[in-house]
Chain A
Amino acid sequence: MNSYTKVVDNGVNVDALLGAREQLTDAPQAAQFTWRATCEWVKGTHSRSEIEGYFGLGEEQKHKTSFCFDADHPEIFASEDHGITPVEYVLVGLASCLTAGIASVAQNRNIQLHSVKATLEGNMDIQGILGIDSDVRNGFDGIKVVYDIKADATQDEIDGIVAQSQKRSAVYDIITNPSNITVETK
């Protein structure tokens, strides 16, 4: 890292994040978070999810407002296209998680970002979800993310930031590693 002092501002409060990290190391129970969403069927393949509260730092927390998300399927699936498809939400989740990570890691490494643009592609053979061929999986075959980043940094430094962002990304982990899911009815 450069020995002279650069003023780098990517709008990330790294000191607060590092402080939280230190405090939570000593109080691991406060690090236990629960994220929540509710979802209600509207009509056809259209549903609306709402997110407001979550649990963390030992107590109930709230977003500044509640957020609503419509999901549906496009007309070629004989749907009415009231919102993006659920798998596209997965791409949104991955892109926004990695991008937030890039800004944070760059700030921590004292690197000024000018622009960060990601293009994502998830390839899918829909013979899986249509039940045509049981050897074809339902989900993505793979996801490709291409970042176009302008920053005061060398290509290796940029690659290092992007790599570190993947290493610390929750959504990246959720997608690349299996998770147990329980679905119940009441």
Chain B
Amino acid sequence: MKLTNRLALQPNSLLQPFKGSVTTLIIGAGQAGLAMSRCLTQRAIDHVVLERGKVANSWRTERWDSLRLLTPNWKNSLPGYRYQGDKPNDFMTTPEFVQFIQNYAETISAPVHDGVTVTAVDAIENGYRVTTNVGQWQCRSLVVASGAFNIPNVPSVSKAIPTSIETLTTHQYLNPTQLEEGGVLIVGGSATGLQLAEEIQRSGREVTLSVGEHVRMPRCYRGRDIFCWMDDTGISREHYTSFDDVNRVRKLPSPQLVGTPEHSTLDLNKLRASGVNIVGRFCGLNNSGSNTSGLNKCEAQFSGALNNICKMADLKMNRLLDTIDTWIEDKAITTGIDQPERFEPTIVDKSPTLSVDLASGKIKTVIWATGYRPDYSWLNLPVLNRKGLFNHDGGVVNAPGLYTIGLPFMRTRQSSFIGGVSDDAYYLSDHLTSYLDASFKPSFNATS
């Protein structure tokens, strides 16, 4: 009876080919999974890396055409690997970055299994069983490096938008030519929302940009890239334990930056000057009533809190610049840098638009740049909080031998930046090694 019950709980276990037993299994071969792989190799821990597509899959398939990294090349070092080109201050395009990651995987001889999609992870005695489309693995410890940007967040009211309007997520958007002529409503004030607003407005389509809480940041300050200062002052490495409310900062949208050959700053003032209509946070649709043409109204409504949202972003940016200025003063640096400056406060219309009738024909496309969430639908472990995110302490998940890496603010402010993953990989691979030593020493060679 007991045996039958056990088999009933594990319907796939007898049907799936067994692929192997490894000490550690890493899910995802992006920068985070590969950095971890390199650290485990250095510590002689046998492991495999499972990748649903090819190395850097989401960079190959889920990014728009014009995207460049937000971090300059010098900042993109990974464990045992650094940028070797002759343009350390420039920003890689997506294909260049895919090549960079591909080269990294080859350089470190990462044991990547391509085209393997994980469909289930279950706890077993002394470890985990990982079920995939090609078979099952067993491992003693597991590193989830499948990324934080798996599923675009789309407000549920999206379904109520008239079918005459095309709705896209940022995973589907490639470039302006795929959009119908006419107005475009972009929802989201992160780097993505602003970058799309700029290029779509430039394509001749009238853009309305809906922004909620956002992070304003100049590309360069006092003659250097903002990441130089964030690194020098230690802000990049601010530890997750030093924040009053780490869950709040983990939800912050990406800073409003763009990586261009001109190193230009992208902010709401620049977009406004180019004709973009900046409106408050998207807060819903009102389908009641009809418009002047007798059609059912479908009013997109925007928050009236835009003034405060922009004021907060300006204040926070100025605090960052104050921190940098104070650091420069303390270090008595006087040469090779420019004078301090403060940027123009964000200009907000006297009466920002509070609603737009989507049924009027003026808006042809809505693009949701409203962030992402990770997909853990395959994870059969009680380790997620009520928001569907890992309960973790700096990447150490609340289950034996289970780790995650590559999430925003996971251990430091720069955890989700390419180069920021290195320190996290060093720390977590040490932690993982200690875990294995403590848990499996007496019977290290025994199979579970």
CB of A156 within 8 A of CB of B304, answer: no
**Selected contact of B301 from candidates A156, A160, A178, CB within 8 Å:** A178
A-B contact number at CB 8 A? 39
Known contacts A142-B351, A166-B308; decide if A176 and B315 are in contact (CB<8 Å): no
Contact pick for B280, options A28, A141, A167, A176, CB 8 Å: A176
Interface class of chain A by DSSP: helix
Find chain A residues with CB under 8 A from B220 CB. none
Question: Within the complex, what minimum Cβ distance (angstroms) separates A18 from chain B?
Answer: 9
- Number of B residues contacting the other chain (C-beta, 8 Å)? 17
**What is the CB-to-nearest-CB distance from A118 to chain B, in angstroms, rounded to a whole number?**
15
Task: Give A80 to B160 CA distance when docked, in angstroms.
Answer: 46
Q: Does B311 contact A (CB under 8 A)?
A: yes
Across-interface contacts of B284 in A (CB, < 8 A)? 177-178
Pair B304/A175 contact, Cβ less than 8 Å? yes
Which residues on the A side are within 8 Å of B280 (C-beta)?
176
Cα-based distance from A141 to B351 in the complex (angstroms): 9
Chain B residue at smallest Cβ distance from A176? B304
Of A141, A156, A167, A177, the most chain B CB neighbours within 10 A belong to A177
Chain A neighbourhood of B296, CB < 8 A: none
The prevalent SS among residues of B at the interface is mixed
Nearest-CB distance from B155 to chain A (Å)?
Answer: 13
Residues in B with CB closer than 8 Å to A167 are 308, 312
Q: Which residues, 309 to 364 on B, are CB-close (under 8 Å) to A?
A: 311-312, 315, 318-319, 351
A83 to chain B, nearest CB (A): 27
Interface string of A142-184 (1 = CB under 8 A from B): 1000000000000010011001101100001101111000000
Q: Are B283 and A177 in contact (CB-based, < 8 A)? A: yes
Q: In the assembled complex, which residues on chain A have CB atoms less than 8 Å from the CB atom of B301?
A: 177-178
A28 to B387, CA, bound (A): 12
B303 on the A face (CB < 8 A): yes
Enumerate B215-261 residues with CB–CB distance to A below 8 Å: none
Tell whether, in the assembled complex, residue B315 and residue A177 are in contact, meaning their CB atoms are under 8 Å apart: no
Q: CB within 8 A of A156: which of B281, B286, B318? A: B318
Say whether B305 faces chain A, with CB atoms less than 8 Å apart: yes
Q: Is the CB of A178 within 8 A of B315?
A: no
| Contact indicator B315/A159 (Cβ below 8 Å) | yes
Task: Give chain B residues whose Cβ lies under 8 Å from the Cβ of A177.
Answer: 281, 283-284, 301, 303-305
CA distance A173 to B309 in the complex (A): 12
| Cross-chain contact A163 with B311 (CB below 8 angstroms) | yes
Interface residues on A, range: 10 to 19
For B305, the chain A residues whose CB sits under 8 A away are 166, 172-173, 176-177
B307 CB, min distance to chain A CBs, angstroms: 9
User: A176's contact among B286, B303, B311, B312, by CB below 8 Å, is which?
Assistant: B303
Please, how many angstroms separate the alpha-carbon atoms of A173 and B318 in the complex? Answer: 26
**Docked-complex contact B311 and A178, CB < 8 angstroms:** no
Of B280, B301, B304, B312, which is in contact with the most chain A CB atoms at under 10 Å from its CB? B304
Tell me the chain B residues, 258-310 only, with Cβ under 8 Å from chain A. Answer: 280-281, 283-284, 286, 301, 303-305, 308
Which of A164, A175, A176 gathers the greatest number of chain B CB atoms within 10 Å? A176
Q: Are B283 and A156 in contact (CB under 8 A)?
A: no
With known contacts A141-B351, A177-B283, A160–B303 Cβ distance under 8 A: no
Minimum CB–CB distance for B54 against chain A, Å: 41
CB distance from B410 to the nearest CB of A (A): 20
Decide if A163 touches B303 in the complex (CB within 8 Å). no
Verify B351–A163 contact, CB threshold 8 A: no
Binary B-proximity of A60-99 (CB < 8 A = 1, otherwise 0): 0000000000000000000000000000000000000000
Are A178 and B286 touching (Cβ within 8 A)?
yes
- Chain B residues within 8 Å of A160, by CB: 312, 315
Inter-chain contacts of A173 with B (CB < 8 A): 305
Complex alpha-carbon distance, A98 and B342, angstroms: 28
**In chain A, residues 106-157, which have Cβ atoms closer than 8 Å to a Cβ of chain B?**
141-142, 156
B387 to chain A, nearest CB (A): 11
A156 and B312 alpha carbons, distance in the complex (Å): 10
Given contacts A142-B351, A176-B303, contact A163 B308 (CB under 8 A): yes
Q: Give CA–CA (A142, B350) in the complex, Å.
A: 10
Residue numbers in A under 8 Å from B318 (CB-CB):
156
Q: Given the complex of chains A and B, what is the CA–CA distance between A8 and B318 in angstroms?
A: 25
Which B residues are CB-close (under 8 A) to A163? 308, 311-312, 315
Q: Cα distance A142–B306 when bound, in Å? A: 13
Residue of A nearest to B352 (CB): A142
A-B contact list, 15 entries, CB within 8 Å: A28-B386, A156-B315, A156-B318, A164-B312, A166-B305, A166-B308, A172-B308, A173-B305, A175-B304, A176-B303, A177-B281, A177-B283, A177-B301, A177-B305, A178-B286
8 closest residue pairs by CB, A with B:
A176-B304, A176-B305, A166-B308, A163-B312, A177-B283, A176-B303, A177-B303, A178-B301
